[in-house]
Chain A
Amino acid sequence: MPLFSNHATNIDNANSDKSISSVPSRWQQKVNGDLNSKSRHAKIAPWLINTASFVIMGMLVLLSLSIGVADFSWSGVFHSLANHSANLDSSLMLVSRLPRTIAIILTGIAMAVAGMIIQVVLKNRFVEPSMVGATQSAALGLLVVSLFFPASALIIKMSVATIAAVFGMMLFMLLIHRIPPTDFLMIPLIGIVFGGIIDAITTFIAYQTETLQMLSVWQFGDFSSVLSGRYELLWLTGVLCIIAYIIADKLTIIGLGDNIALNLGISKRHVTWIGVGMVAMMSAVVVVTVGMIPFIGLVVPNIVSRIMGDKLRRSLPAVALLGASAVLLCDIIGRSIRYPFEIPVATVFGVVGTVVFLWILLRAPAES
């Protein structure tokens, strides 16, 4: 295994040098400059970053557990823990607060990791699951299965949503196959248009069948309905993230380019499909249980790769932690500003995510 990662880093540098000489675009230079200047950023050790993120996340978790509409006191929980007996506070904690917080963390991790995977697989910094048609296709699949088989079990609905998401991403891969790989901004542009078309089809079907309201449940992700027993499907995304961590090195190599993957004996086709399948499943599970949350998969991996580079084995834990913290923060904001009512986390993240992403874009040239 150490040999394996050695290869990865060597090739990493070789590849960056090559692409600088061959592609003179300013953005490309910028991105590669970042990759090369990893040593510069490495002043902050990854473990330090991860520990700091972990501490921040811990504080947000405590805040998330404390904020809610119902009356709640920590002393009640400690009292119940000490006496080994349940009371109102501890049951509220177990039924509502803890499940909600766990669901938020799992969603944040899943969307951020899915974003990172799809960015590496497509070798493009500006894509995320909702920009390659994954979440939209999942919603379309979910709508169709709800219309034809309204009584079907959640697992069936989720499977259909996943299949639809994979199918949508396949279509997208076929589409981008036809444009030159150096055209950096075409991929996200095509993705946005593609997602918009699927969205339009979904909305049209919903409009015709008077299910727009039902559709809105999936289109605006929020955690207000999360209770124990109603979010557990999300643990599946946790499993997928662990798998992603296991195959992290292979994904990194795929991200370096087709020839390098071939030389290192990695089947580009297989790993790409595994990556695509994982992203589709994560998006589908999140859409089915809480709804779409845009921008996480775009903003979080970009921030992390700016600091830590694109080696997934090193950056995935940071991506996961930051993703969880970001969604936690946005949900806390959404719960607090109109207390006791809620603002869907998708709306809050839409606003915050746009600002952060603009900041990333505008800050970029100053650094080079």
Chain B
Amino acid sequence: MSTTSFSSHRATPVFKRPLIAALMTALLTSITVTGCIAPESNDSEPADSNTENKTADKAKNVATNEAVSVTIISVDTIKGSVDLAINPSPLVVYDMTLMQDLAALDVAVDGMPSGLKLNNLHSKTQPDPKKVGTVFEPDLEALNAMQPQAILVGSRMAEKYNALSSIAPTLNMSIDTANIYESSKQRLHDLGALFGKSDQALKLQQDIDGLIDETKTATKDKGNGLVIMVNGNKLSAYGDKSRFGFIHTVLGVPMVDNQIKDADHGQPVSFEYLQKTNPDWLFVIDRSAAIGEESVGAKAVLDNPLVAQTTAWKKNQVVYLSPDSYLAFGGYYQWMQDLTAIKTAFSQAK
């Protein structure tokens, strides 16, 4: 609406001077924009919007009662349960974990952030999604133009919850890093229910669970492990409560050092720490690979006389986790890729 008024004003020959014309159009558009937003801003508070959604859904339900009955489903989110009509469309997703699950479920996503580094985030059978900002910053104009029925967000976008929920029902479906397995299972199940693909979601979960069991058998009694991230030329260690903790908690690989506390970016450690703790297995996240950087590979950083003294390096027991485990932890493809990598490495061990 605002765009049409903008162009019509620009077309009128009344404003000869560009500066005045620009000022006037800016003024007019700001008036029209505030005019547009004013009625909507009333329901920008989450509590309000929830109740309004419910009433709106009810009304819809009544109206379409004769034709097709619209099923309302309650989805459990970080901000409490949200009632939503099944199969919301257009759908906007800002979280890579959820994108992976939806891609595996073959659900079409209509809006996605741009500049994503992974290539398994939307199913190949659907048209390319529209760009709606970045994973940290939504493009509110684009969202407004799209008028989505639902916006799914994760931890990276959680701060922008209020701004997003003024546009459409927003579901914060972040994964709990301390409990990735249970949390991601719940999310996959919820997404299946929301898009009427519960059976398929169950099948995907069985894929993951099956692979977990196989990997567990492979890792049993093969020694302890340490998860490290290589960022530039620096190292940090991750413990069992981090997003890589599933290696210890789900797969049961013993931690080489129980002192590692949970921290967003791990505990900074030196190469001497690796030499001293001497893990049997080293799980490496190459941070520069995760952002499409190929300057200093993690392998080159680790290739030094101190790391060479560890059992992991001597026996070639270094597992490089996929970039997905950093960007889309708890997603379907991340589970499958990392479990396969770990299973393969452990079953080749002598």
Q: Which residues of A does B touch, CB under 8 Å?
A: 68-71, 91-92, 95-96, 146, 150-152, 207-211, 213-214, 216-218, 222, 224-225, 227, 229-230, 340-344
Contacts and interface: CB of A to CB of B under 8 A. Distances in A.
Contacts of A216: 231, 265
Shortest 9 CB-CB contacts between residues of A and residues of B? A217-B232, A69-B272, A70-B272, A224-B270, A150-B295, A225-B233, A341-B267, A69-B273, A69-B276
Contacts of A217: 231-234
A151 B295 contact: yes
Nearest to A95: B305
Contacts of A96: 270-272, 306
Contact of A70 (B265, B267, B287, B306): B306
15 contacts: A95-B305, A146-B293, A150-B295, A208-B134, A217-B231, A224-B234, A225-B234, A225-B271, A225-B301, A227-B306, A340-B257, A340-B273, A340-B276, A342-B268, A342-B269
B149 interface: no
A207 B291 CA distance: 12
A63 to B, nearest CB: 16
B271 to A, nearest CB: 6
A53 B80 CA distance: 62
Interface string B133-156: 011100000000000000000000
Contact of B288 (A214, A229, A343, A344): A214
Interface of B: 115, 117, 134-136, 231-235, 237, 257, 259-260, 265, 267-273, 275-277, 287-288, 291, 293-295, 301, 304-306
B134 A95 contact: no
Contact of A71 (B117, B267, B276, B291): B276
B272 A68 contact: yes
Nearest to A343: B268
Nearest to B261: A341
Given A213-B287, A224-B268, A342-B268, 16 more contacts: A69-B273, A71-B276, A92-B275, A209-B291, A211-B291, A216-B265, A217-B231, A218-B232, A224-B235, A224-B270, A225-B234, A225-B270, A225-B271, A227-B271, A227-B304, A341-B237
A270 B257 CA distance: 56
B329 to A, nearest CB: 15
B140 to A, nearest CB: 17
A193 B235 CA distance: 32
A248 B160 CA distance: 55
A71 B309 CA distance: 12
Give the interface centre of B136, B260, B305 by most chain A CB atoms within 10 Å.
B305
A230 B305 contact: no
A230 B233 contact: yes
Given A151-B295, A214-B287, A217-B231, A344 B272 contact: no
A110 B257 CA distance: 37
Nearest to A97: B272
B269 A210 contact: no
Contacts of A342: 268-270
B293 A150 contact: yes
Contacts of A95: 304-306
A69 B235 CA distance: 14
A210 B291 contact: yes
Contacts of B273: 69-70, 340-341
A202 B121 CA distance: 29
B226 to A, nearest CB: 12
Nearest to B268: A342
A344 B272 CA distance: 15
Contacts of A150: 293-295
B274 to A, nearest CB: 9
Contacts of B291: 209-211, 213-214
Contacts of A207: 136
Give the interface centre of A95, A151, A208, A344 by most chain B CB atoms within 10 Å.
A95
A91 B272 contact: no
B233 A222 contact: no
Nearest to B295: A150
A342 B294 CA distance: 27
A344 B237 CA distance: 14
A66 to B, nearest CB: 12
B199 to A, nearest CB: 36
A258 B291 CA distance: 50
A151 B294 CA distance: 6
Nearest to A70: B272
Contact of A210 (B115, B268, B272): B115
Given A151-B295, A207-B136, A217-B233, A344 B306 contact: no
A69 B293 contact: no
Nearest to B232: A217
Contacts of B277: 340
Nearest to B275: A70
Nearest to B271: A227
A62 to B, nearest CB: 17
A227 B271 CA distance: 8
B185 to A, nearest CB: 28
A214 B276 contact: no
A152 B294 CA distance: 10
Contact of A214 (B232, B269, B275): B232
Contacts of A225: 232-235, 270-271, 301
A227 B115 CA distance: 35
A156 B287 CA distance: 22
Contacts of B234: 217, 222, 224-225
Nearest to A68: B272
A209 B290 CA distance: 12
Contacts of A146: 293, 295
A340 B293 contact: no
A287 to B, nearest CB: 12
Nearest to B260: A341
Given A150-B293, A214-B291, A224-B234, A69 B270 contact: yes
Nearest to B294: A150
